[in-house]
Amino acid sequence: MNAVVELSRTAFDAVVMDLDGVVTDTALLHEKAWKAMFDGFLATRPPAQAEDHRPFENQDYRRFVDGMPRFDGALGFLTSRGITVSAEQVHTLAAQKDSDFQDLLAAEGARLIPGSSSLLIALRRTGFRTAIVSASRNCSAVLGRAGLTDFFDASVDGVVAAELGLPGKPDPAVYLEAAGRLRTPPERCVVLEDALAGVEAGRRGGFGLVVGVDRAGHGQELLEHGADVVVVDLTGVQVATLPAMEGPRP
């Protein structure tokens, strides 16, 4: 299941990748922030027969919030636990999660996932166009802290999605927007994703190759949701060397 993938300019022109959990380890910070917020909320909520107040778990993160816009993720998790609150309270919880995430980012930073730097350099050298996608509104800050801003030709994050009214994953809208900004049809683009909703978005969008990045032992789920192949991290994604007489394409 944990294969090695080689990307060639013969088959593809662009690579669109998710940020958190694919390029940087900030998915761990997002999960910590969601857990802190939800566990605090659940611990203070009065018992109710139809509601499940068990602590937030990794499975909840993967199924309901990973790769999703904050409001959608918060609402999805609460609904899964039989909890109904006002839209205003959902927004309040989502805002608390964002505050917790920013505190964690300031304290722990944005570390690169193995293979990120070498892959981005190889993609640049061979003329691939690149875009970053993130449901987070903190994408620019994370890229800046990681020193990666100049490696991407386009960015579609939570701020852009809100401005354009784009639905969140598993709808393919954010990935299709990224491909459009790269002036590349989806079938000539590769998607790199670690979230179940993300690989499903890549499949729905008709992208030429959807690579699931599995750092937590959930490769089979990624395949079931639309990944063509699964790698453990970006060291499993290689870039074919261009022939000596061929330079990078425009």
Establish whether 18 is a catalytic residue. yes
Q: Which two tokens stand for residue 66?
A: 């990973």
User: What are the angstrom distances between the C-alpha of 169 and each of 63, 70, 73, 91, 217?
Assistant: 12, 12, 10, 19, 21
Closest CA to 127 of 240, 4, 5: 240
Q: Which of 18, 98, 194, 233 is catalytic?
A: 18
Q: Which residues of 76-103 are buried (b: 16+ CB within 10 A; e: fewer)?
A: bbbeebebeeeeeebeebbebbbebbee
Q: How many residues does the chain have?
A: 250
Cis peptide upstream of residue 55 (ω within 30 degrees of 0): no
Sheet strand arrangement including 14-18: 154-156, 129-133, 14-18, 189-193, 209-213, 229-231
Q: Which two tokens stand for residue 104?
A: 């964690």
Closest CA to 122 of 232, 3, 207, 248: 248
Q: How far apart are CA 195 and CA 72, in angstroms?
A: 15
Contact 103, 112 (CB under 8 A): no
Question: Which residues are known catalytic residues?
Answer: 18, 20
